[in-house]
Amino acid sequence: MPVRKLVTLDKKLAISPNGTDQLDLPRDHVIDEIVLRFQFSYSATSAPSLWDVLKAIQEVRVVSDGSVVHWSLRGDDIYILNYYDQQQAVPVDITASGATITLRLATSEILANLKSDLKLSVRFGGAIGSITSFSGAVTASVEQLVYDPNEFVEAYGPNLENLAEPKVTAEEATLNAGTQFQTVSELPVGNLLKRTVMVVTDSSGDFSDSVVDRIRLMNKPGAQELLNEAFTIFGDKDRMEYQLTQRLTGVVFIDYGVDVTEDNLGLRMWRVAKGDITLETRNNANGRARLIHEEIIVNSETLDEAGV
């Protein structure tokens, strides 16, 4: 069994309007999760909301070997994931002049010990909501899994047959009112797709449960409907499945391993072409949808050979 090792990194990332800062993540062991503690000081015309502060975090990005994206999300995206996965237990402290927010990047392991390069960067926006200026720092910590060589091969296979690294990204779509379904996403291909989180806002930019009527998942080549569920039912199921006392308005989690494949894995998107599997909505009103896709980078040949 691996030994867990918690390491807080010495370098802090600077928080500044329209600024970007980055650091090198350690590459001596497997990384199980990354924890980021944002400490903001700001000036604001009125007491800022949590969402104003989160949206100042324009992108948290983790990239290995120069081009392999593991995380590329806004601060509010990560907060939503943490809120559900941690049963609302996200450390947040907001005052009139500052805020401290701790967010976790924890979907699956990054085999950092095999990377030639592994960088974490954070990009900030300008004035957001009532916040006119801000500064501060981000403290990063990693939770590592320390394997001896034999344990590592046993865990991941001699040829990385059991590879399972995260790729979590987001996209946006315009929602149009109508009686027909519209495509909001041609789901990403090439990896195992575990979940898509849909965050819906109305034409005023407020979170809304009333814009989307139904969500449908379609296999286009076979004209096969894989899922057709009311948005409100999805929300109610999320509250039960994630054991929440209060769900977030306008947010639903589509867990493909539970809602479609029923094997707790998800959609094998390396077996289809782009556009074959689409996520669609039928909408009561105009609005916007932000879609957070949680993929796992796997050894697809091994899974195919095993009939998984």
Structure tokens at 263: 């094997």
Query: Which residue type, as a one-letter code, is found at position 270?
Result: W
Distance separating alpha carbons of residues 292 and 170, to the nearest angstrom:
4
Would you give per-residue pLDDT tens digits along the chain (308 residues)? Answer: 899 999 999 999 999 999 999 999 999 999 999 999 999 999 999 989 999 999 999 999 999 999 999 999 999 999 999 999 999 999 999 999 999 999 999 999 999 999 999 999 999 998 888 899 999 999 999 999 999 999 999 999 999 999 999 999 999 999 999 999 999 999 999 999 999 999 999 999 999 999 999 999 999 998 999 999 999 999 999 999 999 999 999 999 999 999 999 999 999 999 999 999 999 999 999 999 999 999 999 999 888 887 88
Quote the pLDDT of residue 49. Answer: 93
Q: How far apart are the first and last CA of the chain?
A: 25
Residue 128's Cβ-count burial label (10 Å; 0-12, 13-18, 19+) is: buried
Neighbouring CB atoms inside 10 A of 218's CB total 19
Structure tokens at 307: 């009939």
User: H or E stretch including 137?
Assistant: strand 131-146
Do residues 293 and 168 lie in contact, with contact meaning Cβ atoms separated by under 8 Å?
yes
Domains, the chain, ordered by start: 3-156 (2.70.9.30), 167-306 (2.60.120.20)
CA 138 to centroid of chain Cα atoms? 19
Q: Does the pTM of the predicted model rise above 0.95?
A: yes
Neighbouring CB atoms inside 10 A of 63's CB total 19
Structure tokens at 82: 């943490």
Quote the pLDDT of residue 304. Answer: 86
| DSSP labels, 194-218 | EEEEEEEEETTS-B-SSSEEEEEEE
Residue 160's Cβ-count burial label (10 Å; 0-12, 13-18, 19+) is: middle
Quote the pLDDT of residue 170. Answer: 99
**Whole-angstrom Cα Rg for the chain:** 20
Picking from 163, 72, 180, the residue whose alpha carbon sits closest to that of residue 114 is 163
